Chains A and B, each alone.
Chain A
Amino acid sequence: MKFAVVVFPGSNCDMDCYHALRDVVQAPVECVWFREALPPDVTAAVIPGGFSYGDYLRCGALAKHAPVMKSVRELAAKGNPVIGICNGFQILTETGMLPGALLKNTCLHFLCHDVDLKTERKDTIFSANLKDVVRFPIAHGEGNYYIDADGLKRIEDNNQVLFRYCSPEGVVNDGYNPNGSLNNIAGVLNEQGNVLGMMPHPERAAEMTLGCDDGKALFESILGALV
């Protein structure tokens, strides 16, 4: 069992994810440069946040073509966990591994603050250990989740929404939607449930030294599912 953190030019949460995995939940982990393929012993992949290729052209649009993504798709096709966080989520929607797209925040600027998230399901490889409401930071300019009406119905009917923005008590409404996401969607799964994309950053909420460790449980859940 081993994690890979995929690194593109311009990734900047790569070392944060690496630290959370290696030092906080003590999982075997290595960074994999975009030109390489995932090593054969990797069983889970993290596509970290940041600004791959400077967000030039469109967030995630260039990373989609990076050589490493071929092996990420193959890993996902085998049913192994793949998680894209923030820019990683944008990359996974660009590749089509996840449904929908991330538009500009409705306020039209970058937002960095804590949000509360309702965990919609506990029966996934990402969420078994999570609390009903978790607090993670967001830090993005393009996190406004969009999908066409049919697609929205499909992912809702399939229970593919894992996280929604909510109040500290778990109430989901417009007042707690930071960026205009449809149905307050903060994180979605693929149909098979082994690929997750989310805008909030669990790796930034993994240690009490930084004020909150709700995110640790997410990495521990994956670890638990793999062992």
Chain B
Amino acid sequence: MKAIAITPEIVAEHGLTPEEYEKLLEILGREPSITELGIFSVMWSEHCSYKNSRPVLKRFPTTGPQVLQGPGENAGVIDIGNGLACCFKIESHNHPSAVMPYAGAATGVGGILRDIFTMGARPVAMLNSLRFGMPDSPRMQHLIDGVIKGIADYGNCVGVPTVAGEVYYETCFEQNILVNAMCVGLMKHEELTLAQAEGAGNLIIYFGNATGRDGIHGATFASEELTDETIEQRSAVQVGDPFMGKKILEATLELIRENAVVGIQDMGAAGLTCSSCEMAGRAGTGVEIDLSKVPQRAENMSAYELMLSESQERMLAVCRPDQFEKAKAILEHWEVGCHVLGEVNDSGLLTVKHNGEVVAHVPADQISIEAPVYHREQSDAPWLGELRSWDEVDISGDDPQEQFIKLLSWPSIASKRWVYEQYDHMVQTNTMVRPGSDAAVIRVRGTNTALAMTTDCNSMLCFLNPEMGGRIAVAEAARNIVCSGAKPLGITDCLNFGNPMKPHVFRQFDRACTGISEACEVFNTPVTGGNVSFYNESKGLAVFPSPVIGMIGVAEDQAHVTTSCFKNEGDKIYLLGPGASHLGGSQYLRQRQHEAQKNGAAGANDALMSSWPIGPCPRIDLQLEKQVQDFLLAAIREGLIASAHDVTEGGLAVALAEACISGERKIGAKIGLNASGQELLIQLFSEEPSRIVVSVSSGQAKAFEAKAAAVRVSAMSLGEVGGDALEIQGAISMGLDAIVDQYDRKPF
């Protein structure tokens, strides 16, 4: 076999800087082989090493009495009482989904599922957070349908309910869609399993699908004997096999339950390289593997390809020799192939053999732990001075009802029922609150508790003010958890940004993370893990900063579980939280902007013609928000609350409409706002945070008002539940069927 010479070009094509290559030479004390170069390049990629983001991520609060496992493992773990723990994580699959929407989204789901069950937790729910361009073009419609079908086919097949999520449409996602998937699992405390290769002499076992050339980044020199044929065989995006996913899920949980392994890790990004390095690196041991033992579904694969393949549904486990027969029997039961690749040793080195030759011999800990770290430059965004303010837009002629109707069918606001009905959201028979309410809730079997979960991020607000947007994302997630009757416990985050080498993008990232940290401190929701996705950018245009927050919380009693829909005629409706004062950052103005630019009706200097969203970003007072949430949770626990729904996209008007129509039985409302003209429009459509619509039975209204007054939380009386229309005095009068007709439709 001909050795490949390592030239500066090859180093550059692997994404390593000259300084990183110097560091590599220093660690090895010699020139690397091509396989070693490949190993370092993926381990030192942003995806595996967080080299650009680590200094910022370090500022996150990550500890608390409820945290059983913080960042650094496959997923975070939180204590939820009764000896049980919740394991959860969110991850992006943006780039693969943009290239091949179906396969990209499906493998995103498969990957996050594996992160959860390798920790020893049974996956009990999935969520996803999706961002697309405007759904007007056939190309975008193809992407949307493909992504949704990919998520559905994988999740439905493995039998994990997809219970919640979000879908937004913005022009900035036209070239870079965002596909973030979150998985939540449950386990007993003692089932927590870490991905560590401990104990010299222990066996390294490979199980699951065979390895192919899929997912190897298109480095043209990948094979020693590169031909046109091998180039054609190689595909950039992996293909998912949910049936194998289901089998390895069951097999893995049984291996852990039966104590047949000491450590386990999935082969996700960077495949065998990442899993073997990380397992050895975390335990401070060494690993020797023989690639000739790897089952292969392509012919003549090189060591480089075998180490870097991202073929899906593959697992790496470590077991003691005396556990091996048991492990093998379990894998055979589930009809999953099992192969011994090598052993753990005390060398501290990752040794890789192929066809009798040593092809890589590198210090495991230095690759995985001592990856380079960068402090990137920051600067203000060049467009800051171009941002326009809401009061530059003339809304005096706007008709509230007409605008309300437009917002109901505005794609980012309209019902996502057409999406979540394609996901099995009830399998496992635990779903207490289905998609479409503020947070999804599943019961926790064997206890009287329930687990609430949500994903949230308002990308537009994060664009206008990353720090405030980061705070608001966490606050909104916590608000959704509280509205469903649960106490927020922790978050996972998926940080989707542009190119971090650009100082203004890095500042967005830095500020958004600061906002998240500040809010997590206030809500006592430590960050337990997550994922950074940079480079969501093409043609010089980055996506809006999108730090998606996945939050979980616990309802102490299933009786506390609360939904967003109005329940009974005659119930009193209140608005909790501060009043509204402006329309900055609202979908109201975004819709007006979109319409004006489509029709070309406005003047060129009009704020509506600006390509940026119209600000300012609303400010959030975290202490006030916490006060409102604490009050609501206490009132729910006392049984005072019939429904709770937070005010977000589309403002109070849309929140009220959703409360009227989201229940099994639709029921109207009569509302008086005591305002007119512009003031009324602000009341109806402002998206300022910390506000919640609640309904309270008339018999409990006095107790509720007294309780609010006692803790100085504003509870403004809005009106009462009843009838078959939403009537907002002087503004909106619309039958519920007509509202449903506008709201509940696919946008294309």
**Which residues does A use to contact B, with CB under 8 Å?**
9-10, 12-13, 15-16, 19-20, 33, 49-51, 53-56, 109-113, 137, 139, 141, 201, 203-204, 206-207, 209-211
Contact = CB atoms under 8 A, between A and B. Distances in A.
Contact of A54 (B243, B423, B429): B243
A54 B157 contact: yes
A19 B558 CA distance: 19
A54 B242 contact: yes
30 contacts: A9-B243, A9-B334, A10-B157, A12-B158, A12-B159, A12-B246, A15-B428, A16-B427, A19-B429, A33-B333, A49-B427, A51-B156, A51-B159, A51-B246, A55-B243, A56-B243, A109-B149, A110-B153, A110-B156, A111-B421, A111-B422, A112-B424, A112-B425, A112-B426, A137-B426, A204-B426, A204-B429, A210-B430, A210-B431, A210-B443
A190 B61 CA distance: 61
B247 interface: yes
Given A13-B427, A112-B422, A137-B426, A209 B243 contact: no
A137 B429 CA distance: 11
B426 A139 contact: yes
A16 to B, nearest CB: 5
Contacts of B335: 9
B241 interface: yes
Contacts of A12: 157-159, 246, 427
Interface in B580-608: none
A48 to B, nearest CB: 10
Contacts of B431: 210
Nearest to A34: B335
B237 to A, nearest CB: 20
A39 B7 CA distance: 67
B432 A109 contact: no
Which of A54, A112, A207 lies at the interface centre, i.e. has the most chain B CB atoms within 10 A of its CB? A112
B152 interface: yes
Interface string B420-457: 11111111111110000000000100000000000000
Given A112-B421, A204-B429, 17 more contacts: A9-B247, A9-B335, A10-B243, A12-B158, A13-B427, A16-B429, A20-B429, A54-B157, A54-B242, A109-B152, A110-B423, A111-B421, A112-B420, A113-B421, A139-B426, A201-B426, A210-B429
Contacts, number: 83
Contacts of B420: 112
A109 B247 CA distance: 24
Interface string B21-33: 0000000000000
Nearest to A14: B159
A54 to B, nearest CB: 3
A139 B156 contact: yes
Given A12-B158, A139-B156, A209-B432, A51 B242 contact: yes
Nearest to A206: B429
A109 B422 CA distance: 7
B428 A110 contact: no
Nearest to A212: B664
Contacts of A15: 428
A49 B333 CA distance: 20
A216 B733 CA distance: 42
Which of B149, B427, B432 lies at the interface centre, i.e. has the most chain A CB atoms within 10 A of its CB? B427
Where chain B touches its partner, the secondary structure class is: mixed
Interface string B214-244: 0000000000000000000000000001111
A16 B160 CA distance: 12
B426 A55 contact: no
A201 B333 CA distance: 28
Contacts of B158: 12
A26 to B, nearest CB: 16
B566 to A, nearest CB: 17
B429 A139 contact: no
Interface string B537-559: 00000000000000000000010
Contacts of A209: 432, 443, 558
A139 B424 contact: yes
A21 to B, nearest CB: 12
Contacts of A51: 156-157, 159, 242-243, 246
A13 B334 contact: no
Nearest to B429: A16
A180 B339 CA distance: 47
Contacts of B242: 51, 54
Interface in B235-287: 241-244, 246-247
Contacts of B426: 112, 137, 139, 201, 204, 210
Nearest to A168: B664
| A-B interface, 3 closest residue pairs, ranked by CB to CB distance from nearest | A12-B159, A54-B243, A51-B157
A190 B333 CA distance: 33
Contacts of A19: 429
A56 to B, nearest CB: 7
Nearest to A207: B429
Nearest to A53: B243
Interface string B150-164: 001100111100000
A47 B157 CA distance: 16
A202 to B, nearest CB: 11
A110 B243 contact: no
A113 B152 CA distance: 14
Contacts of A139: 156, 424, 426-427
Contacts of A211: 432
A112 B243 CA distance: 20
A109 B420 CA distance: 12
A42 B428 CA distance: 24
A112 B420 CA distance: 8
A203 B431 CA distance: 13
Contacts of B432: 209-211
Contacts of B421: 111-113
A210 B431 CA distance: 6
Contact of A110 (B159, B333, B424, B558): B424
A204 B158 CA distance: 17
A55 B665 CA distance: 36
B180 to A, nearest CB: 21
Nearest to B148: A109
B138 to A, nearest CB: 17
A137 B241 CA distance: 26
Contacts of A137: 426
Which of B149, B246, B427, B429 lies at the interface centre, i.e. has the most chain A CB atoms within 10 A of its CB? B429
A57 to B, nearest CB: 11
Which of B241, B247, B422, B558 lies at the interface centre, i.e. has the most chain A CB atoms within 10 A of its CB? B422
A7 B156 CA distance: 17
Contacts of B247: 9-10
Contacts of B430: 210
A16 B428 contact: yes
A108 B383 CA distance: 45
A75 B710 CA distance: 67
Interface string B394-423: 000000000000000000000000001111
A50 B420 CA distance: 18
Contacts of B149: 109
B704 to A, nearest CB: 26
B585 to A, nearest CB: 34
